[in-house]
Amino acid sequence: MYRSGAVMAWNVFKFCTALRGLGSIMILLVLGVVGVTYYVVVITNYGPILAGGGGGVGVFDTLVALFVIALFHCLLVMLLWSYFSVVFTDPGSVPPNWRPALDEERGDTDPLTASEFGSSPADLPRSRIRFCRKCNQMKPPRCHHCSVCGRCVLKMDHHCVWVVNCVGALNYKYFLLFLFYTFLETTLVTLSLLPDFIAFFTDGEIPGTPGTLATTFLAFVLNLAFALSVLGFLILHMSLVSGNTTTIEAYEKKTTPKWRYDLGRKRNFEQVFGMDRRYWFIPRYSVEDLRRTPALHGLEYPTQPDLDAQEF
């Protein structure tokens, strides 16, 4: 019975590793949805109105088209900026030969001694330190091993196949901004294409060829589906941010009156988005927030150049 369970667990991890192959496919899928949406909104629908090629276009229609196209491009830039920031930003790795000064995981404040680290993996049951048997190294507080990436990730939230990367301490903000701008963009597209969608099922006249009508219908359905699903994820993750909890911790932690890492909503928010409000809505951190980031996650870098060399 034990042998069967071990084989089943091994197969699951092999499946997780195979998810790496979906990387380019998922990126192409995201870019494909963006391309179809851009074609429908800008090229097919509102671009001709703004160019005055439709004939008899009023001033109001021109202003609406200008507003939609301008807002669409602004949101699209922020969406893609946030998306590729999540894709290409390391979520947070454990520094080589890292050792904790305190047992923060259990809330202890007494300094750790050399004997408490254990001399071998066999000593781990008697040790106060979290240890990853797959990476063969110690794990900082709130650190988890990702079976897809094959390494431990700081403050890991989950592995997202859409961004082909883990979502962790150093790119969680970018992931949330990606959800935020995706929701705004898909909502704008849904509302701007809603009149055509309604006319599609009524006797209303819709300009365009059968091909453009089908593409418009597809873009509306896709953006409506993404808007509704992303809204649910956005609400979920903002509730986690307000309590300074990750998706993994929400399932793992015991029910207690007070979560150890809950610092209050304001400080919890600043721990993810930074203290400089000018950077809250862009996928970047201020220099001061970059210097604070290692300390927030229980890490210490030996010298300032090492800290500056990290990519956040």
Q: Which residues are catalytic?
A: 160
Answer whether 151's CB lies under 8 Å from 93's CB: yes
**Nearest Cα to Cα of residue 268 among 237, 304, 302:** 237
Q: The tokens of 13 are what? A: 């991890």
Answer whether 186's CB lies under 8 Å from 224's CB: yes
**Nearest Cα to Cα of residue 72 among 176, 186, 178, 177:** 186
| Distance from C-alpha of 187 to C-alpha of 230, rounded to nearest angstrom | 10
Answer whether 164's CB lies under 8 Å from 27's CB: yes
Query: Which residues contact residue 248 at a Cβ distance below 8 angstroms, ignoring those fewer than 6 apart?
Result: 144, 156, 157, 158
Q: The tokens of 304 are what? A: 């300032």
Residue whose structure tokens are 């701007």: 192
- AA letter at 138: M
**Nearest Cα to Cα of residue 191 among 162, 217, 220:** 220
Backbone angles phi, psi at 207, to 5 degrees: -70, 150
Q: Angle at CA 57, nearest 5°, toward 52 and 58?
A: 125
